[in-house]
Amino acid sequence: MLPILFQDEHLVAIHKPAGLLVHRSELDRHETRFAVQLLRDQLGRHVYPAHRLDRGTSGVLLFALDRDTARALGAQFEGQAVLKTYLAVVRGHPPEAGHIDHPLSRRRDDKEWVGEKSSDEAQPAVTDFRRLAVCELPHQVDRYPTSRYALLELTPHTGRRHQIRRHLKHIAHPIIGDSTFGKGRHNRLFQQLFDCHRMLLACARLQLTHPHTGLPLDLVAPPDGEFAALLDALHWSEAVPAALAGRAPSGSPLP
């Protein structure tokens, strides 16, 4: 069963686990499990994904339950009216805060998304980040005797394919566990030390307007599984902001 974060007559949001595809793609013909199919079977009705998460990314995944709602949600995402907040563990110690404004060419495998055309033309892409915690492990991976890592909170303001992963590679702080844009030696260290075999990127929060009620909708998926265990092992759990960890701020009850 997929964990449901929110559901009404128009929308349903789940906490997508890492390793699960949103829907069938030409690049993964051998796969038989997809979030769309699993959720459709779980609810007994058609569902329409409102946005996408990479296979290795966990977190909030929003679906519409009818075509009109799907179009309304799509307009919010395309109009950059949805606030998305991610957590990532990266190599190195980035600045305490940063603004990445780096255009990205469209990825050729975008053909799996109906209606999109493949092109090499770079498109505007902007991501903000702030550093939440750092550590230095006594293990030599590169040329230094120790290895540095950081926990980041990221806000992508555009929705390019693999945007956060590519932007973090661009600033030389790739995500741990990212087999495409990351560094294999650092990925293997986390596998050996922490038994962590996933990409450490999660969509922890989506904030948008409900397309039918007009009320604000705040969807949160705290890190779980291997991601949560890794945060505990590095003593980073308390560094995660209360709103992203599913905790109420001090003095405020949970809704």
Report, as residue numbers or ranges, the catalytic residues. 54
Orientation of helix 225-233 relative to helix 184-194, angle to 10°: 80
CB atoms under 10 Å from CB of 110, counted, come to 13
> Residue 17 to residues 33, 56, 78, 216, 227: CA-CA distances in angstroms?
12, 8, 24, 25, 11
Of 209, 231, 208, nearest to 84 by C-alpha is: 208
Query: Is the separation of the CB atoms in 189 and 139 below 8 Å?
Result: yes
